Amino acid sequence: MQIFQKVEGIRSALHEAQLKGKKIGFVPTMGNLHQGHLELIKLAQKTNDIVVCSIFVNGLQFGLHEDWDQYPRTFEEDCKKLADVSCDMLFHPDENQMYPNGLDSQTRVICSSMTDYLCGASRPGHFEGVTTVVSKLLNIIKPHELVLGRKDYQQMAILYRMIEDLCFPVRIIEAEIHREVDGLAMSSRNVYLSALERQNASQLYKSLSWVAGKIRLGDRNFIALEKEAADQIKKAGFQPDYISICNSRTLEMATIDDCDIAVLGAMYSSAARLIDNISLH
């Protein structure tokens, strides 16, 4: 696997590949890679000649009191995992490469819908940081396919919109959520869970599944379902942030005749904020 730290280095390597007509798949990450990330690489390999992964813990998408400084950075292990699945290229820029004029004076990309509710409500500015860094990465890598995990459902929906609105010539490929045996969605932030919290953390998935099951059986009392699921999470010892039954595309509150529904949830443990979701058709 080739590793690049500089924008110019990866650009010229990819330029050569593009001249040869190679198809490029791109998997952006913040590192501390787990099996879920590696499944994205494998998915990208199915339809692309060259797969590029990026590892960049993007300061622009973290709030002042969030975990940017503690976010687990495991570069050596990540490189080994990527090499084991035959990833072709890794882009690992530092902040100076990505934000040469400083974070504060960085030109921003703002998606004018879907960013201030659900996760956006408790993480103001987060999605602006995501759309800005992903725009930059797309301009650097120029991939044909961008592989995203459904785990970050709202992020994916916003990136669909950004790509359409700004005419980025890239196609999004969606990857299923990869879970631990008990159903907990794999996440780099699961390392923040205490042993006791880890035992109960699959409650978020269990409650989302309970809501999805009720909707499948015809229950359309969405507000009551959201409330009951939040109560289940409280009883398991976590603080629910939101449980929301949404239209899959707009992420607005679902109406009773919506056919494509996403049930999204977020909860706090003592040191982590975990998210998950289930789609229903």
- By CB under 6 A, residue 175 contacts ligand AMP: yes
Q: How far apart are CA 26 and CA 42, in angstroms?
A: 11
Residue 174: CB minimum distance to ligand AMP, A: 9
- By CB under 6 A, residue 43 contacts ligand AMP: no
Q: How far apart are CA 242 and CA 181, in angstroms?
A: 24
Q: How far apart are CA 156 and CA 218, in angstroms?
A: 28
Three-state DSSP class for 66? coil
For the segment 11-30, give every residue that binds ligand AMP (CB under 6 A). 29-30
Residue 275 DSSP code: E
- By CB under 6 A, residue 87 contacts ligand AMP: no
Torsion of CA 130, 188, 270, 222, to 10 degrees: 60
- By CB under 6 A, residue 149 contacts ligand AMP: yes
Of these, 78, 152, 241, 258, which contacts ligand AMP (CB under 6 A)? 152
Whichever of 99 and 222 has its CB closer to ligand AMP, that residue is 99
Whichever of 40 and 243 has its CB closer to ligand AMP, that residue is 40
Residue type, 123: R
% helix, strand, coil for the chain, step of 5: 40, 20, 40
Q: How far apart are CA 203 and CA 30, in angstroms?
A: 25
- By CB under 6 A, residue 277 contacts ligand AMP: no
How many C-beta neighbours within 10 Å does residue 128 have? 18
Of these, 115, 132, 188, 202, which contacts ligand AMP (CB under 6 A)? 188
How many residues bind ligand AMP (CB under 6 A)? The answer is: 16
- By CB under 6 A, residue 178 contacts ligand AMP: yes
Binding letters toward ligand AMP, positions 54-83, x by CB under 6 A: ------------------------------
Closest CA to 141 of 17, 242, 256, 274: 17
For the segment 204-223, give every residue that binds ligand AMP (CB under 6 A). none
Q: Please report, as ranges, the residues that interact with ligand AMP according to CB under 6 A.
A: 29-30, 36-37, 40, 148-149, 151-152, 175, 177-178, 185-188
